[in-house]
Amino acid sequence: MSYNFIDLFCGAGGFSKGMENAGFTCIGGIELKDVIAQTHKLNHKKSHTISGDIRNIPPEKFAEIIGTNHVDVIIGGPPCPTFSTIGDAKIKSVTGKPTREDPRNELFMDYLKYVDYFRPEIFVIENVPNFITKYKGEIFNKAVEMIESIGKTEDSPGIYEVEKPVQVLNAVYYGVPQTRKRMMLVAHKKVGVHFKYPKQTHYYDQEDETLKKTLKKAITVQQAISDLPTITDNWRISECPYSKNSRLNEYQKLMRKNNKTKLVSNNICRMSNERAKKVFAHMKQGDKYMDLPKEVRSILPFREDIFQDRLKRIVANQPCWTVIAHIGMDGYMYIHPTECRTLSVREAARIQSFPDDFVFIGNQQDTYVQVGNAVPPLLGEAIGHSIYAYLNEIKSTSNEEIR
């Protein structure tokens, strides 16, 4: 079966990439920032990706752009920065206003306008886990209520139902070398068929012995990046060959599978100042800033009541902690496991499960932010396979009824 989808608030396209890997075709995307939209367009050849504010783009206009009003699936993560801990604190410090008043909290309403217009079979809203509980669940409950009211009339109870309970999925359990939790709200038409969330494929921090025996081990940082080109932090060559081409592990083979050029792009990192490098040299894998002796911390002093984990060195034989957009600022929370530098854009992309043929457009900070804001493609693929199975079950049930 062939199914299409559109990606609202698409970013660079991690979720889109995962859906395409699961067998879907991306026919359209909307992204606010132009350089990020260019990345999505470059990596999703059949997508009519546009740059603009969704609040100013009526769904009818978007239907003209993509050339159809038939959409099987809608995906997207309406940005709600006040739901994340870091975003909430930053907004408070910059604006001085209660974050509850931030208009971006309700961008999901614009997403639902597209759902109401296109009436897809199924759609997914992804966000940080706090989307469910923030403001005592007020916005989450409002979203669910609005979803269930789409198409509601005196004679109809509404078109859509939310698959409950809404689940929070950890990317590390789906083959991503990173612990990253995302809320996945899935809603679909009331057709008597229920969506099934993807089953866990990898184990990491669970004590369940059955899982340990039946699932694969979580992918580590070492497994994810050890074949990438050897670089220094002043490396500025845009494309260079792999440092290792034999005895590759399964994850490395997967990341390199469609890279026809045999060269690696975006494998550059920020230049750290000399004081930072001196501190890096004192850090063991797993060390945080406050683990260091005071005399070492004095080399690169920070507010110690606020920035206790300002620097963190990654552990090679474990999955990484969550890669966030702040990696675009200085990368100090992502110090390479064995080298005195921070992660490169490509290393961060590998940890996010972006394949090596996925190229990021923009300056260095742009590309880091694109990686940090993305849904890991392998997590998107896991959701995509479940959506594909759901749609096929609908088709099968419909055909049975016809017969």
- Which percentage of the chain shows pLDDT scores above 70? 92
Q: What is the pLDDT of residue 260?
A: 92
For residue 223, what pLDDT band results from cuts at 50, 70 and 90? Answer: very high
Round to whole Å and give the CA distance between 195 and 162. Answer: 10
- Separation in Å, CA 278 to CA 255, 274, 298, 341: 33, 6, 11, 10
Residue among 10, 26, 80, 320 flagged as catalytic: 80
Round to whole Å and give the CA distance between 399 and 340. Answer: 61
pTM, whole model, 2 decimals? 0.92
Q: What is the pLDDT of residue 135?
A: 86
Instruction: Provide the b/e sequence for 62-88 (b: ≥16 CB within 10 Å).
Output: bbeebeeeebbbbbbbbbbbbbbeebb
The stretch 113-134 carries a mean pLDDT of 96
Closest CA to 270 of 354, 363, 372, 371: 363
Round to whole Å and give the CA distance between 393 and 387. Answer: 10
3-class SS letters over the chain: CCEEEEEECCCCCHHHHHHHHCCEEEEEEEECCHHHHHHHHHHCCCCEEEECCHHHCCHHHHHHHHCCCCCCEEEECCCCHHHCHHHHHHHHHHHCCCHHHCHHHHCHHHHHHHHHHHCCCEEEEEECCHHHHHHHHHHHHHHHHHHHHCCCCCCCCCCEEECCCCEEEEHHHHCCCECCEEEEEEEEECCCCCCCCCCCCEECCCCCHHHHHHCEECCCHHHHHCCCCCCCCCCCCCEEECCCCCCCCHHHHHHHCCCCCCEEECCCCCCCCHHHHHHHCCCCCCCEHHHCCHHHHCCCCCCCCCCCCCCEECCCCCCECCCCHHHHCCCCCCECCCCCCECCHHHHHHHCCCCCCCCCCCCHHHHHHHHHCCCCHHHHHHHHHHHHHHHHHHHHHHHHHHC
In this structure, the number of other CB atoms found within 10 A of the CB of residue 199 comes to 11
Residue 49 phi/psi, 5-degree rounding, is -95, 130
Instruction: Quick: pLDDT tens for 290-327.
Output: 999 999 999 999 988 887 888 999 999 999 999 999 99
The stretch 138-167 carries a mean pLDDT of 94
Instruction: Quick: pLDDT tens for 13-51.
Output: 999 999 999 999 999 999 999 999 999 999 999 999 999
Give the range among 10-24, 84-98, 134-148 with minimum mean pLDDT: 84-98
Q: What is the pLDDT of residue 91?
A: 41
For residue 123, what pLDDT band results from cuts at 50, 70 and 90? Answer: very high
Instruction: Quick: pLDDT tens for 173-216.
Output: 999 999 999 999 999 999 999 999 999 999 999 888 989 899 99
pLDDT at 88 over 90: no
Q: What is the pLDDT of residue 397?
A: 78
The stretch 157-183 carries a mean pLDDT of 97
Q: What is the pLDDT of residue 154?
A: 87
Would residue 10 show up in a list of annotated catalytic residues for this protein? Answer: no
- Which percentage of the chain shows pLDDT scores above 90? 81
